[in-house]
Structure 1
Amino acid sequence: MSETETDNWPVRTGSGAPEPEALRDIMALVAAAFDTDGNPPLSEQTLVELASPAAEADALLTLLAYAPEEKSDPSTGQDLAGLAVVSPVGGSGVLEIVVHPNYRNQGVGTLLVDKLKANRGLAGIKAWSHGDHEAAADLAARYGYVAVRELWRMRLIRTHGSDQALPEAVLPPGVTLRTFIPGQDEHAWLAANAAAFAHHPEQGSMTLSDLQARMTERWFDPAGFFLATDAEGTILGFHWTKVHPETGHHPSLGEVYVVGVTPQAQGSGLGRTLSTAGIRYLQGRGLSAIMLYVDADNQAAVSLYRSLGFTRWDADVMYGPRPE
C-alpha cells in the first residue's frame, strides 16, 4: 500500500493516560500482537504508564491509527490498526510501535511515523523493536535510523537434573537473605536499586510510583523478591523474580526480573548467589522455562548467565538516528 492509500485512515493523537475505551482497545491490540509474535510488543514501563493516571503519564504521547470502515475486521469489530507511543525515557523520548496482525504490510507503521514526524518531529527520539522484526528494521532504515543497542532475551530450559547442576547459593560472610516486606522495604530498595543501576537508562530511574504500580500487578509476589542484607540491615543486593501466567498458547514462564548488587558489594560473588537463589525458587514452583533480559554488551552479566545454563533466545533492538 502506498502512503497516499492510508490518507483515509484516521490517526488520533493524545497525551497522558488514554481514556478507558481507548486503553481497552490498546490492550486488545497488545494482546493480539503478543499472541502472534510470542513476545511483548511494548516495554513493561510503557504499559504501566499507559494504565496509570499518575503524573508520570502526562508526558506520554500516543497516536492511534484506525482502519476505515471498509477495512475493519467484521469478525471482531477491531478497527484499531496500530499504536505509536513516545515515553519520556532518556529526555527526548523512546518510540514504540505496534501494528495489529490483521493490518500488517499495509503501511500502518509508516503512517504512524509520518504523523509523529509532523506532530512533534523525530529529533532525538530513539525507537525499540521488540523481537527485532524485519519490518521494523526496514522502517528504521527508511528514516535514517540504525541499531544503537541490543537487549538479549536469554532462556534456561529445565531438563532432568538441571537444578542439581546449579551452584550452591553461598552468601558472603555477614550477609543474610530474606524476602521483601511490603510497607517496609520500598524506600530502602529504591535506594539500593538506584545505586546498583546508576548508569542504566531504565532500571536506575525507577520511582516509588513505578514500584507501587508493579506491586499491584497480579504477578507480584514478595515471596519471590529476595534481599541480601548486611548485619545493619542495609540492602546490598536483590533478586526480584516474576512469573508470567499462561496466556493463549504460551505456557507459564519464570523470569529473572531484575538482579542488582550495590557498588560496595560488587565483586563478592553476591550476584551469582542471588541469581541462583531466585532460579531455584522459580524451579521449585514447577516452572520448566526461565527467561531474562540483559544488554548484549554487558559481558560480565552475559557470562554469568551462560555459566548458569542460559542461552540467547531472542533480542530487542533499539534504533537511533544515524550519526552525522
Structure 2
Amino acid sequence: MSPVHPENWPVLVIKGGVDDELLRDFTALAAAAEESDGNPPLSEQTFVTLRAGESGSHPLLALALYAPDEDSDPATAQDLAGFAVVVEEADGTGVLEVAVHPSYRNQGVADRLVATLKSSRGFDGLKAWSHGNHEAAADLAAKYGYVPVRELWKMRLTTSAAELPEAVLPDNVTLRAFVPGQDEEAWLAANKAAFSHHPEQGNMTQQDLEARMAEDWFDPAGFLLAVDPSGRILGFHWTKVHPRHGGHPAIGEVYVVGVTPEAQGMGLGKALTVAGIRYLQDQGLHAVMLYTDADNAPAVSLYRRLGFTRWDADVMYGPKNGG
C-alpha cells in the first residue's frame, strides 16, 4: 500500500465525459464502497450521467485522486483512492458526491478532492450528498461551512404479502405495464404533472428516461401504469430490483410513485404502492426499500402504515449562509 501523503498525490480534473477506463475505475471503487458500507456512495442519476458522457443532458465535472505505488512516479499513479463528481444543472447549481475506497479512508483523501474542487470550480450553487450520512462526511461538510439542508430516509419492508392491504383501485381505473416505444411521451407528461413541486424528478427528459430504460435493471413489467378508460395515465409505480452483490441479498425498491393532480385524493397512491410491492414480492424478493424525504409527513405515515421502518438516511449539505 502507498505511503500516506494524499496532499501530494495527483488529482485529475475532467470536465465533460470520462473515458471508459476511468469509468471502470469509478465503478469498481463505488462497488467496493457499497460492499463495505451497505449503501452506494453515488446516486443513480450520477452514474447515469457518467455513463452518458458527453451525450448526456447534464454537464459533468469529475475529479480522481490516484495513490501512487511506492516505486512509481506520481505521474504514473496506479490506485484510485477516491473520486468526486459534480452533476451540473442549467441554472448554475450542482450536486457533489464523493467516494473514497475503504482502504484509503481516514487519510485526508476526501479533503484533498474537495479542496481541489474549491480551487478549480468553486462552491457557487453547490450542494453535496452524503449517502448513509457518515461521520467523516459530516465533519468535512462542517469544515467547509456546510450544514444539513435535506434528509432523505431509506425505509425498508420485510413483511409478507399476506400482511399488506388490498390494492383497491378507484372506479374506472385499471392497471397495466409500461410499453416501451408507446408510453414514453405520455408518461413524461404525467411525471411532470405529478412532480411539478419536485423539479429533480419532474424535469426528467426523454433522454433521461431512455438512459434509465437502457440500464440492466429496467423491467417494463414492473413499471405499472394506472389509466382511465381513455388510456390517459393517472398515476404510476416504477419498481426496481437491486441484484445480489457480495453478502447483500437482492432487494426490491419502490423507485417512483406518482399521481397526477386530477387523480389525487382517490387513494390511487396507496393502491399503486401496494400493487408495486406485491409485484416485487411475486418476484421472490423478501425485502423492499424506498426513499422519502424525512419531512414528508403524509408519505412517511403511509409507508409506516404499510409496515415500512426507517433503515438509514442520506443527508444533503448546503452552505450555512444559504448561498
* TM-score category (smaller protein): over 0.9
Q: Which of 265, 268, 273 is 1:267 aligned to?
A: 265
Q: Which residue of 2 aligns with 1:157?
A: 158
**C-alpha distance in 1, partners of 2:168/2:270?**
9
Q: Which residue of 1 aligns with 2:170?
A: 172
Number of aligned residue pairs: give it: 314
Shift, 1:191, TM fit: 0.7
Distance 1:5 1:317, change over 3 A: same
Shift, 1:54, TM fit: 4.8
Q: Which residue of 1 aligns with 2:118?
A: 117
Distance 1:58 1:153, change over 3 A: closer
Q: Which residue of 1 aligns with 2:66?
A: 66
**C-alpha distance in 1, partners of 2:120/2:173?**
53
TM-score (ref. length: structure 1): 0.93
Q: Which of 214, 218, 221 is 2:219 aligned to?
A: 221
Check whether the contact 2:15–2:60 (CA below 8 A) recurs between aligned residues: yes
User: Secondary structure of the equivalent of 1:202?
Assistant: helix
**C-alpha distance in 1, partners of 2:18/2:47?**
11
Check whether the contact 2:58–2:87 (CA below 8 A) recurs between aligned residues: no
Q: Which residue of 1 aligns with 2:319?
A: 321
User: Secondary structure of the equivalent of 1:258?
Assistant: strand
Distance 1:319 1:155, change over 3 A: same
| Gap regions ≥5 residues in structure 1 | none
One-letter amino acid of the structure 1 residue matched with residue 177 of structure 2: T
User: Secondary structure of the equivalent of 1:48?
Assistant: helix
User: Secondary structure of the equivalent of 1:191?
Assistant: helix
Q: Which residue of 2 aligns with 1:136?
A: 137
Q: Which residue of 2 aligns with 1:205?
A: 203
Q: Which residue of 1 aligns with 2:194?
A: 196
2:253 matches 1:255: yes
Shift, 1:198, TM fit: 1.1
TM-score (ref. length: structure 2): 0.94
Check whether the contact 1:17–1:58 (CA below 8 A) recurs between aligned residues: no
Q: Which residue of 1 aligns with 2:23?
A: 23
| Gap regions ≥5 residues in structure 2 | none
One-letter amino acid of the structure 1 residue matched with residue 138 of structure 2: A
Shift, 1:310, TM fit: 0.3
Q: Which of 276, 284, 290 is 1:286 aligned to?
A: 284
**C-alpha distance in 2, partners of 1:229/1:64?**
46
User: Secondary structure of the equivalent of 1:227?
Assistant: strand
Shift, 1:145, TM fit: 0.3
Shift, 1:78, TM fit: 5.9
Q: Which residue of 2 aligns with 1:148?
A: 149
RMSD of aligned C-alpha atoms? 1.7
User: Secondary structure of the equivalent of 1:164?
Assistant: helix
Distance 1:78 1:170, change over 3 A: farther
**C-alpha distance in 1, partners of 2:221/2:253?**
14
Check whether the contact 1:155–1:310 (CA below 8 A) recurs between aligned residues: yes
Q: Which residue of 2 aligns with 1:93?
A: 94
Distance 1:71 1:172, change over 3 A: farther
User: Secondary structure of the equivalent of 1:317?
Assistant: strand
Deviates more, 1:215-224 or 1:4-13: 4-13
User: Secondary structure of the equivalent of 2:53?
Assistant: coil
Distance 1:60 1:237, change over 3 A: same
Deviates more, 1:89-98 or 1:167-176: 89-98
Deviates more, 1:86-95 or 1:123-132: 86-95
